[in-house]
């Protein structure tokens, strides 16, 4: 027997989300201060490769499309200098990746709108981290606050991995 | 009939979620190594996306109703379904996974239409040869819009059984069979089919011909009333499938058995429609028999027996099959034997059945079209080999004719010759 996924025709790459990752990634690559605009090249290469892979008809190839995008942005985040602008652009790049993932041309249109509830949670966490970094006096303090948030997030994640049941609780049939 | 079961499964992380989590963890490590908060800001969305997707998804097991039907005629099979989501489930986040039955081939791409609360899909397949296919209900998965979490949707649906066989078999049930037993006082009728002794009146349907309408009774009742007749059963029929392994190999044997299964179901449907008693026996290593009976329930029993039949080992003595058949069925039952006649064992089975008083008619699905599909020979060699094999096959069919009327079934979508043979008893005389 052969399983088969629905043969939905792949739409052309969505322009808004593609432009978003290209723009944010390019800006992030520019502030990364690599010589000869190397950061911009890395960002554009990653985003372009991801968009190209996602527009193919093969489901297996489409599944690996996010890898170059995440790798290129992650590389820029590691090599970029300290500062408020790189921090903001780093968070924005993370959110733009989520928007890009939601706007999958192989699935039903309107994914970004339906993914609003999902994207708003990391956006809030970023907002908390950014606000604490701006309000606290030193850069090292902001690192501490962000790290604390991350520890909390990782603890929640470990809990979810170990017991995904909280989302499986049935609604009561009777009152 | 029991209600279809509804399985409730839990959420699962998709590979993309694991990739994002791994990337976030690596960025965290990188931030510590380079002593910079910038990677942490990138890691936050990647780490929180998957839990947020699970949180934003349906709380309980997503449910809905599924209407599933098989359409099409002849070789085409269309599986059409309509899923209606219940609750706040967004149908545009659903994915349909359909398992194509092994006897069917893809024919075009699937059509999927997704609305806010309903999902309509249609799959087109083609039956390259007669077959009975079981189509399992599709799996429906909810996936979050980012593709990070998935969860099966609980759907109550039963498998569909799709049967495709030559259209001539629809008429084969009207033939006059050899009478199995005459009860004391029974008066055999010369008529067959939907006529016989008057039984009762019933409300007429749109398919009733004018000759069965009782016009006087209709005038009295003010509505069309038809006569109901006691059908005169002329005999019983036994469908015997020789499912022993042959030298053709298990793959070819399995395909031939699939073709025989479909034809047997078509013949059984046609005879059961005429209220003839039908029995099915599958001779693999031993004989699995469904006794003679009629009715709708019996149709399901026969279908289940045919669907569960498998190719048995080779070298099983034919006498075992003939003896077993005589234990389940009275002598004189018209027996249609499905056998590829690849080796002499089938001929021995025919002789064994005839010795025990069963009038046998052999319907032999030819293996030649299947063998020609996978021939590794060059075209000119293939032509020569095909001629030689066809001559051998013809000689074998001729030898089988000495024992029983035999139909060489090489065009799988046509059984006109077989129906003609069955309709004219004089043509069935042998020897």
In the prediction, which pLDDT does B420 show?
A: 84
Of A161 and A169, more confident: A161
Distance between CA atoms of residues A62 and B419, nearest Å: 53
Contacts of B62 (CB under 8 A, 6+ apart): B85, B87, B89, B142, B151, B153, B154
Considering chain A, what percentage of its residues have pLDDT values greater than 70?
Answer: 69
Distance between CA atoms of residues B109 and A94, nearest Å: 36
Q: Can you tell me the mean pLDDT for A4-24?
A: 73
- CB-CB under 8 Å, A126 with B44: yes
In the prediction, which pLDDT does B46 show?
A: 94
- With cut-offs at 50, 70 and 90, classify the pLDDT of residue A136: low
Nearest to B88, CA basis, from A95, A107, A165, A117: A117
In the prediction, which pLDDT does B168 show?
A: 86
Q: Can you tell me the mean pLDDT for B311-316?
A: 91
Please write the tens of the pLDDT for every residue from B281-297: 999 999 999 999 888 88
Which residues of chain B are within 8 Å of residue A102 when distances are taken between CB atoms? 145-146
Nearest to B204, CA basis, from B221, B220, B227, B186: B227
Residue A125 has pLDDT above 80, yes or no: yes
Lowest mean pLDDT among B6-15, B23-32, B52-61: B6-15
Q: How many angstroms away from the CA of A165 is the closest CA of chain B?
A: 7
Residue B424 has pLDDT above 80, yes or no: no
Average confidence score pLDDT of chain B? 85
In the prediction, which pLDDT does B273 show?
A: 80
Q: Can you tell me the mean pLDDT for B262-291?
A: 91
Q: Can you tell me the mean pLDDT for B26-36?
A: 90
In the prediction, which pLDDT does A6 show?
A: 44
Q: How many angstroms away from the CA of B154 is the closest CA of chain A?
A: 12
Of B191 and A15, more confident: A15
DSSP string, B82-142: EEEE-TT--GGGEEEEEEE-TT-EE-S--EEEE-SSEEEEEEEEE-SS-EEEEEPPPEEEE
Residue spans of the domains in chain A: they are 11-110, 115-164
What are the backbone dihedrals phi and psi of residue B285, each rounded to the nearest 5 degrees, phi first? -85, -40
- CB-CB under 8 Å, B40 with A147: yes
**For A170, which of B47, B61, B98 is closest by C-beta distance?**
B61
Please write the tens of the pLDDT for every residue from A47-91: 999 999 998 888 889 999 999 999 999 999 999 998 889 999 999
Residue B426 has pLDDT above 80, yes or no: no
In the prediction, which pLDDT does B120 show?
A: 93
Distance between CA atoms of residues B221 and B215, nearest Å: 10
- CB-CB under 8 Å, A122 with B41: no
**For A143, which of B37, B42, B90 is closest by C-beta distance?**
B37
Residue A10 has pLDDT above 90, yes or no: no
**For B40, which of A118, A146, A157 is closest by C-beta distance?**
A146
Considering chain A, what percentage of its residues have pLDDT values greater than 90?
Answer: 39
Contacts of B301 (CB under 8 A, 6+ apart): B290, B293
**For A168, which of B11, B38, B100 is closest by C-beta distance?**
B11
- With cut-offs at 50, 70 and 90, classify the pLDDT of residue A160: low
In the prediction, which pLDDT does B58 show?
A: 80
Nearest to B31, CA basis, from B14, B52, B53, B46: B46
Residue positions counted in chain A? 175
Number of Cβ within a 10 Å radius of residue B206: 5
Burial class (CB in 10 A: 0-12, 13-18, 19+), B362: buried
- With cut-offs at 50, 70 and 90, classify the pLDDT of residue B56: confident
> For residues B334-360, b (16+ Cβ closer than 10 Å) or e, as one string?
bbbbbbbbbbebbbbbbbbbbeeebbb
In total, the C-beta contacts within 8 angstroms joining chain A to chain B are 210
In the prediction, which pLDDT does B423 show?
A: 78
- With cut-offs at 50, 70 and 90, classify the pLDDT of residue A175: very low
Burial class (CB in 10 A: 0-12, 13-18, 19+), B417: middle
Residue A162 has pLDDT above 70, yes or no: no
Which residues of chain B are within 8 Å of residue A160 when distances are taken between CB atoms? 50-51, 54
In the prediction, which pLDDT does A166 show?
A: 46
Distance between CA atoms of residues A9 and A62, nearest Å: 13
Tokens 């409300």 sit on residue: B203
């Amino acid at each position: 027997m052969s399983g088969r996924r629905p043969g939905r025709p792949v739409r052309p790459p969505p322009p808004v989300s593609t432009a978003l990752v290209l723009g944010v990634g390019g800006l992030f690559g520019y502030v990364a201060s690599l010589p000869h605009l190397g950061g911009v090249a890395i960002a554009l290469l990653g985003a372009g490769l991801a968009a190209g892979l996602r527009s193919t008809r093969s489901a297996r190839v489409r599944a690996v499309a996010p890898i170059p995008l995440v790798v290129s942005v992650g590389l820029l985040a590691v090599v970029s200098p300290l500062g408020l602008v790189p921090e903001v652009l780093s968070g924005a790049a993370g959110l733009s990746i989520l928007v890009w993932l939601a706007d999958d041309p192989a699935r039903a249109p309107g994914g970004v709108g339906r993914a609003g509830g999902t994207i708003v949670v990391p956006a809030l966490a970023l907002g908390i981290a950014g606000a604490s970094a701006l309000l606290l006096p030193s850069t090292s303090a902001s690192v501490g606050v962000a790290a604390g948030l991350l520890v909390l997030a990782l603890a929640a994640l470990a809990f979810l991995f170990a017991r995904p049941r909280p989302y499986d609780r049935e609604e009561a049939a009777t009152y | 009939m029991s209600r279809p079961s509804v399985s409730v499964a839990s959420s699962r992380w998709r590979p993309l979620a694991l990739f994002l989590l791994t990337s976030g963890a690596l960025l965290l490590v990188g931030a510590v190594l380079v002593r910079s908060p910038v990677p942490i800001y990138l890691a936050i969305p990647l780490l929180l996306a998957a839990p947020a997707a699970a949180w934003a998804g349906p709380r309980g097991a997503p449910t809905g109703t599924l209407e599933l039907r098989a359409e099409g005629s002849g070789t085409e099979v269309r599986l059409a379904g309509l899923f209606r989501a219940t609750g706040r489930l967004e149908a545009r986040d659903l994915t349909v996974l359909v398992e194509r039955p092994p006897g069917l081939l893809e024919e075009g791409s699937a059509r999927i239409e997704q609305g806010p609360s309903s999902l309509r899909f249609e799959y087109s397949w083609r039956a390259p040869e007669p077959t009975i296919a079981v189509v399992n209900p599709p799996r429906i998965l909810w996936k979050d819009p980012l593709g990070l979490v998935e969860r099966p949707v609980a759907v109550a649906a039963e498998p569909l059984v799709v049967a495709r066989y030559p259209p001539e078999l629809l008429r084969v049930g009207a033939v006059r069979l050899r009478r199995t037993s005459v009860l004391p006082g029974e008066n055999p009728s010369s008529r067959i089919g939907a006529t016989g002794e008057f039984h009762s009146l019933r409300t007429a349907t749109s398919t009733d011909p004018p000759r069965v309408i009782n016009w006087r009774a209709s005038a009295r009742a003010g509505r069309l009333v038809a006569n109901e007749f006691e059908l005169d059963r002329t005999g019983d029929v036994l469908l015997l499938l020789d499912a022993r392994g042959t030298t053709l190999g298990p793959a070819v044997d399995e395909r031939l058995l699939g073709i025989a299964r479909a034809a047997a179901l078509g013949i059984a449907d046609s005879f059961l429609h005429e209220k003839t008693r039908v029995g099915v026996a599958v001779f693999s290593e031993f004989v699995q028999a469904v006794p003679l009976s009629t009715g709708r329930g019996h149709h399901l029993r026969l279908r289940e027996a045919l669907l569960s039949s498998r190719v048995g080992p080779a070298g099983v003595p034919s006498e075992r099959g003939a003896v077993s058949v005589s234990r389940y069925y009275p002598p004189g039952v018209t027996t249609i034997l499905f056998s590829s006649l690849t080796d002499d064992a089938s001929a021995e089975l025919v002789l064994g059945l005839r010795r025990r008083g069963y009038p046998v008619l052999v319907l032999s699905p030819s293996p030649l079209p299947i063998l020609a599909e996978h021939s590794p020979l060059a075209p000119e060699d293939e032509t020569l080999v095909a001629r030689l094999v066809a001559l051998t096959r013809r000689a074998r069919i001729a030898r089988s004719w000495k024992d029983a009327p035999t139909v060489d079934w090489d065009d799988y979508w046509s059984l006109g010759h077989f129906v003609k043979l069955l309709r004219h008893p004089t043509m069935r005389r042998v020897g």
